[in-house]
Structure 1
Amino acid sequence: MNAKNWVTFKTRRRTLNQSERRTDIKCFLNLSSSGVSSSDYLHGSRAAVRVHPAHPIFRPLEMEGGRKVTHIAVLKGAESQTPAETPWGAPLVWGDSRHSASRRAKFAQREIRIGLLAFVVGTYAQFIRRFLYSAETYFLPGQVVTYYILTDNPRSLDPPVKLGPEREMKVIPIAELPGWERLAHRRMTLLGDAIRESIDSETDYIFCADVDQEFVAPVRAEILGDLVATLHPELYGMPRNAFPYEVDEGSSAYVEEDEGDFYYTSEFYGGAVSEMYKLARGCSLLILQDHTDGITARGLEESYLNRYLIDHRPTCVLSPEYSWWDSDLDTAPLALWSAAIRVNRVSALFSPQWPIIN
């Protein structure tokens, strides 16, 4: 792989009061970390189209005294390795590997029921058919899969998409949630409700994917694990102080400077149904606490997801190939990587600002 470029942001200093407050919240949640599974790997192919991100957290970070960051230091890095494990021993799933076949063979003899859940709200209905067609081709081919579509407009699925053998779709109506921020604050609660009311008895694993993505290469049983997270495609390999964790000490999503190993995307994550219910419940309580205090985390749902995954480390981590989108920084580290799931947004919900210097 070619030499990579590294981007460094300046972040705020931490305080200790939030750590004590978060400890109380964790005691209330009474959630425990999961064990670690064996090594997983990805079989992927090159994505054909470059796309640009539309993400809420990529905006200039404030420095002390209210002054904005006006530059990013771009440093040349040596050729990076692609480690097979995280620092805590969980498998880190990368592209074609000799381990892929053995991992898939482990699940080949098991009857596994898998759910794929997506929210289809408002204008996002335009993406649902492309999402389903691509999933039919590439998502867990040959496995029993149920698509759970949570939507405020069930008519957007008429006429129904024709599905293959051992595939079915269940439409779960939800109240209209205009505006991305409102949906982002409700998704974890809605996910938890869906798991409790139906998914728990119908599937073994459930994965959540943003509907404005499409599968572009096979995504097989190598992704399965108790708690599975995906590395953010623009932040893997960057120094810890580049991660846009929540910096408001009053927020339940706040992350101290000595916490966190990776930054995870909310585009694609999943795991065993029982662990996903714990995740949804835990994040919902953190969001509720902030809502009560009148606080909105900078990355919305993704901030709380990262807070939870710091406290409950994933048992399987997927490479950025599982949630691919290209950067406005043409020299970003991922320019030559493969893609299995591609983010292909048409509408610019956010206007990210990347302050750059030569």
Structure 2
Amino acid sequence: LSTLIWIFFCSRMNGKLHSLAATSTSWNASIIWEGMFEPNLFDQKHIGEKSSVALTVFAVGRYLDAYLKTFLISAEQHFMLGLPVTYYVFTDLPDKVPNITLASHRNIKVIQVGKHTRWQDISMMRMRTISEAIESEIRHRFHYVFCFDVDQEFKGRFGSEALGDSVALLHAHYYKLPKARFTYDRNPKSKAFMETGDFCYHAAIFGGTWQNVKHLVDACYLAIMEDKINDVEALWHDESHLNKYFWIHKPSRLLSPEYCWDQSIWDKQDILVTRLVWAPKHYDTLRTG
């Protein structure tokens, strides 16, 4: 009842009727929706705490030309405005990273990585690369880390309300579906195997304190490598392992699908604001293997 009252209150405050979407989990983690927070209060809190954010993004092969410039320019318009941010761009083509205008206390660091033959390996091996970057540099300079897929575009505020100890994203295609339809890995031979879970999380975005993000990526990498030794590959690759991790280690904050929306979804009644959207996918020309 208290959850419904809160939703109604938020809806009235916004002058809009929000649908009855869940705003908290069974373990009392908040699910962040438009109307649930006062932006200025969050911003002032984190400015006062001198919060800083490292954003990691991989732009390998054709993905760099297709998506990186739009991603970075839109991030400068909407991501954690007012806070120190460094974009860690991991790419096999460092000379092709575009020059963009950055606000004060915001920087780009380009880190060269190798190119894997299969896109699945790029996706999975990013866990090790993020861990190495956290260990060597990020942990000495930043409180928080957010990890993004590059084929996305910021459209609205993606601010300090998203910061938390451990942050997961509800998958736009699954958040309304019954658990029986969640596409967890059902192969008992995989370390990602799950019979049930709480939600279906999207690996396009995850974050938290550097300590928690490092714990997540280390755990996922170890599970991926154990699967490789056993000649097993999880159904949705790193995303399957991420879902297993968040089933065992509950996130402290969940981002609603406002924070990563697929505009092809016809049912948008819950989505009052789109903060980040999926860019058009061209898998047939961009992916290898």
Partner of 1:58: none
Structure 2 gaps of 5+ residues are 1-9, 11-17
Partner of 1:181: 120
Partner of 1:106: 45
SS at match of 2:203: strand
Q: Give the aligned residue type for 1:320.
A: P
Partner of 1:249: 188
Partner of 1:27: none
Partner of 2:148: 209
Which string of whole-angstrom CA distances, capped at 9 and with x for unpartnered residues, describes residues 219-270 of structure 1? 11100101100000010021111110001011100001xx311000011110
Which string of whole-angstrom CA distances, capped at 9 and with x for unpartnered residues, describes residues 307-347 of structure 1? 000000001000011111134x63x4667542101111241
* Partner residue of 2:243 out of 306, 330, 333: 306
Aligned residues: 268
Highest RCO, 1 vs 2 (Cα 8 Å, sep ≥ 6): 1
Are the equivalent residues in 2 in contact too, given 1:233–1:334 (CA < 8 A)? no
TM-score when normalising by structure 2: 0.87
Q: Give the aligned residue type for 1:140.
A: M
CA-atom RMSD, angstroms? Answer: 1.9
TM-score when normalising by structure 1: 0.71
SS at match of 1:265: coil
CA distance in 2, matches of 1:98, 1:307: 29
* Partner residue of 1:289 out of 223, 226, 232: 226
Which string of whole-angstrom CA distances, capped at 9 and with x for unpartnered residues, describes residues 153-200 of structure 1? 101115x22211111111111111233112122111111111111111
1:146 and 2:90 equivalent? no
Give the share of equivalent positions with the same residue, in percent.
32
Please give the residue correspondences for 1:342-357 in structure 2 after superposition, counting only pairs within 5 Å. 342-349=277-284
SS at match of 1:206: strand
Q: Give the aligned residue type for 1:92.
A: I
CA distance in 1, matches of 2:210, 2:37: 29
Please give the residue correspondences for 1:1-358 in structure 2 after superposition, counting only pairs within 5 Å. 80-97=19-36, 99-126=38-65, 127-158=67-98, 160-256=99-195, 259-327=196-264, 330=266, 332=267, 336-349=271-284
Greater Rg over alpha carbons, structure = 1
SS at match of 2:101: coil
CA distance in 2, matches of 1:248, 1:264: 18
CA distance in 2, matches of 1:286, 1:173: 25
Which string of whole-angstrom CA distances, capped at 9 and with x for unpartnered residues, describes residues 255-291 of structure 1? 01xx311000011110100100000100001101100
Are the equivalent residues in 2 in contact too, given 1:121–1:177 (CA < 8 A)? no
CA distance in 1, matches of 2:19, 2:198: 17
